[in-house]
Amino acid sequence: MRKIISFMHISLDGFVAGPQGEMDWITINEEIFDHVGQRISQTDTALYGRVTYEMMENYWPTAADKPNASKHDKEHSQWYSQAHKIVLSQRLKGTSLSNTTIISDSLTEHINSIKNQPGGEILLFGSPTATHAMLEQNLIDGYWLFVNPVILGQGIPLFANIKEKTKLKLVNTKAFDCGVTELSYIIDQA
């Protein structure tokens, strides 16, 4: 069965965005881009909420074509164009998009069907609203977190409306020179 891994940048105090959705506190550099690129290249499916998907669609399809495109822009643009995209959205309901599946109802049924299809892990990129919806239905199998060395004090939390304790198993950690720390967890089934 395929696993869904939530990929997020997070503040030390557990926020994934500021109160107005700000993400200007996130530290990203070539070391992180290269590390993330290696793992992303091993998957062929990305899951997004509508807002994050629209942000990605507005940038990645043509990012490699820009005159000042970085190595990361070129590599991720190529990956993005080939990856199958799953979008959780009520607004895009009935929309037909190339290489994209829109889920607008029966979340658990649709996600479990996708998880039972052949393929590797599915990365849930950013998308706090989608993550919260998936958390409520116990559809997330792990977390790939990039803890940024900042305390926001307020904002959009990663974990909201949690009703029961969930044990996690640490599978990887990596400290980056810029102060960001990667923590990778899977749900502990024991």
Q: 38 CB contacts (<8 Å, ≥6 apart)?
A: none
| Prediction pTM value | 0.90
Q: Please give the single-letter amino acid code of residue 172.
A: N
Confidence of residue 148 (pLDDT cuts 50, 70, 90): very high
Give the pLDDT confidence of 5-35 residue by residue, as tens digits: 999 999 999 999 999 999 999 999 999 999 9
Give the pLDDT confidence of 161-188 residue by residue, as tens digits: 788 889 999 999 999 999 999 999 999 8
d(CA 41, CA 116): 21
Instruction: Average the pLDDT over 134-143 and give the result.
Output: 93
The CATH classification number of 4-18+29-187 equals 3.40.430.10
d(CA 67, CA 31): 22
Q: Where are the domains of the chain?
A: 4-18+29-187
Angle formed at CA 93 by CA 89 and CA 96, multiple of 5 degrees: 110
Please tell me the predicted confidence (pLDDT) of residue 168: 96
Give, as one character, the DSSP assignment of residue 13. T
Place of tokens 């899951």: 47
> Of 51, 131, 58, which is closest to residue 91 (Cα–Cα)?
51
